[in-house]
Structure 1
Amino acid sequence: MAQLTIRGLPEEVDRALRAQAARHGRSMEAEVRLILRQALILPTETPMGEAMAAIWRQSGITDEEQAFLEGTRDRRAHEPMSFE
């Protein structure tokens, strides 16, 4: 396994990293490993629009049915809820 030394880490980054590691119950080293792994290795989340398009494709719904369903949405502007 490789080792990494980071020089010149700003004080505020060091403090934030230590605090985050403590909140998660991990060592600072383990926290850095996880952060790097999540940033570089794990797949990123799919944007909402792409996820919804994939669901439409997988459902087998036709383009005409999709157009009909999209046309049935209420597109009127709504007033925000009042809590008074």
Structure 2
Amino acid sequence: MANVTVRNLPDEVHRALRVRAAHHGRSTEAEIRDILENAVRPPQRVRLGSLLASIAREAGGLSEAEAERLNQLRDKTPAEPLRFE
């Protein structure tokens, strides 16, 4: 496993980390590991379609009924493979 050293950490930040760690019942080092892991590895992968749908809903896009109607109209036949002849 790798080791990381953080230099010039302000005293207030270190104090806040110790308080947060105590609140969660673990060491400061374990708390820092948890913070770093959550920052770089979100618990659930975001899917592009879901993200776009949520953006459209927030922007006042399609209602659920309209989206379902479009989904019913969508051509669901498989695409033909490319031919380079």
User: What range is the shorter-chain TM-score in?
Assistant: 0.5 to 0.7
The alignment-based identity, stated in percent, is 46
CA deviation after TM superposition for structure 1 residue 44, in Å: 6.3
CA deviation after TM superposition for structure 1 residue 45, in Å: 8.2
Report the TM-score when normalising by structure 2: 0.55
Task: Count how many residue pairs are aligned between Structure 1 and Structure 2.
Answer: 59
Report the TM-score when normalising by structure 1: 0.55
Equivalences for residues 1-84 of structure 1 within 5 A: 1-43=1-43, 49-50=54-55, 56=64, 61-63=68-70
Q: Secondary structure at the match of 1:6?
A: coil
Structure 2: distance between partners of 1:23 and 1:36: 17
**Runs (5+) with no aligned partner, structure 2:** 71-85
Distance 1:44 1:8, change over 3 A: farther
CA RMSD of aligned residues (A): 3.3
Q: Secondary structure at the match of 2:12?
A: helix
